[in-house]
């Protein structure tokens, strides 16, 4: 029996904890409350093949098409082929997916060739999944620690010195720092939506796990690819308007009342997210920065209230009647395709360290995630990581992908503030978020990226001995902003969610990952 530390309590962490607890001792750590994560707020659903009209091959093809040449086929095959069984697992945990005439109610979302999106509670899929898994974890995992922040992965060198091996974690508690020894650590701490001024992500998404892994010597990949959801309600807090709304027939119009997506892509509102988001951005620029409008009035008040109760309630809360009037929407940072590079079992380049969910870069999403594949990726690869806990550690797991896709660039970077010859000031989170939104967001160019690089170089995190939770988060965000900016500068083409105004074309020979390691590793 091993001692396994799981970091994070979204779907990836909850699945990892409950599955590992069947045969190992598990400690589950979360910096907030159990279940507070992106998963809880996920609206649209989870994509998987659950009907005879659909096929695994079709799901694979749709995923690879959306990924714009950068998907790793072995990982996509795993995702799609194991998806149906993992849906059955969720049902066994008590997830009550919506049904119609005794079968799963399946929705259609952008870039899917079949209606394969399962949902629960209309648009409360994430909350339903989270609640069921939290109950399972509470019943099976005895060591759950809330409000404890992981500040370091403890590592040793392997005997032959070729790589590092994880031996535990250091956490910051209300009583000060504490070390926890572990035989394996599973990172499931989510993404980093708080890098950007406008995001659909909750406040806890500060990229802590990715930063921890990077500092411990793990390889990162694809970090320049940040997906912006096309339709967030243009109100404080950027409430997400699910892609499923457009899947049901809602359309996008500009302030002149004209539908514009039909002239952009033959799939119109159901084109891949990067296409829709950039089209909205262009319309907003043409109308002085004002949001575009999502017109769902044709769906009817009764349908909207039943199919999308959470969105319906949010609209009411903001004084909007979306059954009668179009609602204002704008793109917002939503999902990070990049992260800690792994193999198809979640293994990283640090022995004993696994990464699953949004913290990981499995290669399944490529340059642009297919809608509703993220929850599926979390449950599939968390299950596989637990299955590999007792297996021998391979020589260099993430390098499996590089055999098929040799890196486009191999960047070695250090955390901002390390160069003592450069005058620095303590990073301000709001200024960092604004900088990233303005220069490393939906559309990028060399000038803006250089501006971001120079400003980031002038910041440093607060001194460690004085750091509280938010200061550790700021240190992580600053490091990851540096990583995203450097990777975005290195990729001199446009591909998927990475769009360069100065390099608008996609270069066939550049369909390869950019990898990053800490300088000195």
Q: How far is CA 384 from CA 78, 374, 401, in A?
A: 10, 15, 17
* Beta-strand relationship, 117-118 and 106-107: antiparallel
Concerning whether 167 is annotated as a catalytic residue, the answer is: no
Residues forming a β-bridge with 498: 495
Residue 361 to residue 341: CA distance in whole angstroms = 5
- Written as six digits, the tokens of 273 are 């997210």
Q: How many C-beta neighbours within 10 Å does residue 186 have?
A: 32
- Written as six digits, the tokens of 213 are 């892994």
3-state class (DSSP) for residue 474 = helix
Question: Please, are residues 515 and 363 in contact by the beta-carbon 8 Å criterion?
Answer: no
Q: Which of 86, 273, 401, 444 is flagged as catalytic?
A: 273
Residue 284 to residue 63: CA distance in whole angstroms = 29
Sorted by sequence, the CB contacts under 8 Å of residue 185 that are 6+ apart come out as 4, 5, 6, 7, 153, 166, 168, 169, 352, 353, 354
Residue 419 to residue 458: CA distance in whole angstroms = 10
Collect contacts of 437-440 with beta carbons under 8 A, ≥24 apart.
437/196, 437/197, 437/198, 437/333, 440/481, 440/484, 440/485, 440/488
- Tell me, what DSSP letter sits at residue 462? P
Where does 8-124 have alpha helices with state H?
A: 11-20, 38-41, 56-66, 73-92
- Written as six digits, the tokens of 233 are 């309600």
Burial 361-371, CB ≥16 within 10 A → b, else e:
bbbbbbbbbbb
Q: What angle do CA 241, 245, 249 make, to 5 degrees?
A: 145
Sorted by sequence, the CB contacts under 8 Å of residue 21 that are 6+ apart come out as 137, 140, 141
Residue 254 to residue 249: CA distance in whole angstroms = 17
Catalytic residue numbers read: 273
């Amino acid at each position: 029996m091993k001692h396994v530390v799981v970091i994070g309590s979204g779907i990836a962490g909850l699945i990892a904890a409950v599955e590992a607890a069947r045969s190992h001792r598990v400690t589950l750590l979360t910096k907030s409350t159990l279940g507070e994560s992106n998963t809880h707020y996920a609206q649209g659903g989870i994509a998987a093949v659950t009907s005879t009209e659909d096929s695994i091959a079709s799901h694979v093809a749709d995923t690879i098409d959306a990924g714009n040449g950068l998907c790793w086929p072995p990982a996509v095959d795993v995702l799609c082929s194991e998806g149906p069984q993992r849906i059955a697992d969720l049902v066994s945990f008590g997830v009550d997916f919506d049904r119609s005439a005794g079968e799963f109610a399946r929705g259609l979302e952008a870039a899917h060739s079949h209606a394969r999106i399962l949902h629960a509670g209309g648009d409360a899929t994430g909350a339903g999944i989270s609640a069921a898994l939290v109950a399972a974890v509470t019943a099976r995992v005895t060591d759950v620690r809330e409000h404890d922040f992981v500040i370091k992965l403890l590592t040793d060198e392997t005997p032959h010195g070729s790589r590092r091996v994880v031996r535990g974690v250091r956490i910051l508690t209300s009583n000060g720092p504490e070390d926890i020894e572990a035989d394996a650590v599973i990172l499931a701490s989510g993404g980093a939506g708080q890098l950007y001024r406008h995001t659909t992500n909750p406040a806890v998404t500060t990229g802590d796990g990715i930063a921890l892994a990077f500092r411990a010597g793990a390889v990162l990949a694809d970090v320049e690819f940040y997906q912006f959801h096309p339709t967030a309600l243009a109100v404080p807090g950027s409430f997400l308007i699910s892609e499923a709304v457009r899947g049901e027939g809602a359309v996008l119009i500009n302030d002149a009342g004209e539908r514009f997506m039909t002239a952009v892509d033959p799939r119109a509102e159901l084109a891949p997210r990067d296409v829709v988001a950039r089209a909205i951005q262009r319309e907003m620029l043409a109308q002085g920065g004002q949001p575009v409008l999502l017109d769902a009035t044709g769906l009817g008040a009764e349908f909207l209230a039943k199919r999308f109760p959470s969105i319906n309630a949010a609209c009411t809360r903001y004084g909007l009647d979306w059954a009668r009037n179009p609602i204002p929407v704008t793109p917002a940072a939503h999902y990070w395709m990049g992260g800690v590079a792994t193999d198809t079992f979640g293994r990283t380049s640090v022995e004993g360290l696994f990464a699953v969910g949004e913290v990981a870069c499995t290669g399944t999403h490529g340059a642009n995630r297919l809608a509703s594949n993220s929850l599926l990726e979390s449950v599939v690869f968390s299950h596989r990581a637990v299955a590999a806990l007792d297996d021998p550690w391979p020589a260099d797991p993430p390098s499996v992908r590089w055999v098929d896709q040799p890196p486009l660039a191999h960047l070695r970077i250090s955390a901002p503030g390390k160069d003592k010859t450069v005058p620095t000031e303590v990073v301000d989170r709001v200024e960092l978020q604004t900088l990233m939104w303005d220069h490393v967001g939906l559309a990028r160019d060399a000038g803006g990226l250089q501006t971001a690089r120079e400003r980031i170089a002038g910041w440093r995190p607060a001194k460690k001995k004085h750091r509280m939770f938010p200061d550790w988060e700021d240190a992580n965000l600053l490091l990851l902003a540096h990583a995203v900016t450097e990777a975005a500068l290195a990729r001199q083409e446009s591909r998927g969610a990475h769009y360069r105004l100065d390099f608008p074309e996609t270069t066939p020979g550049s369909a390869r990952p950019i990898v990053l390691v800490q300088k000195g590793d």
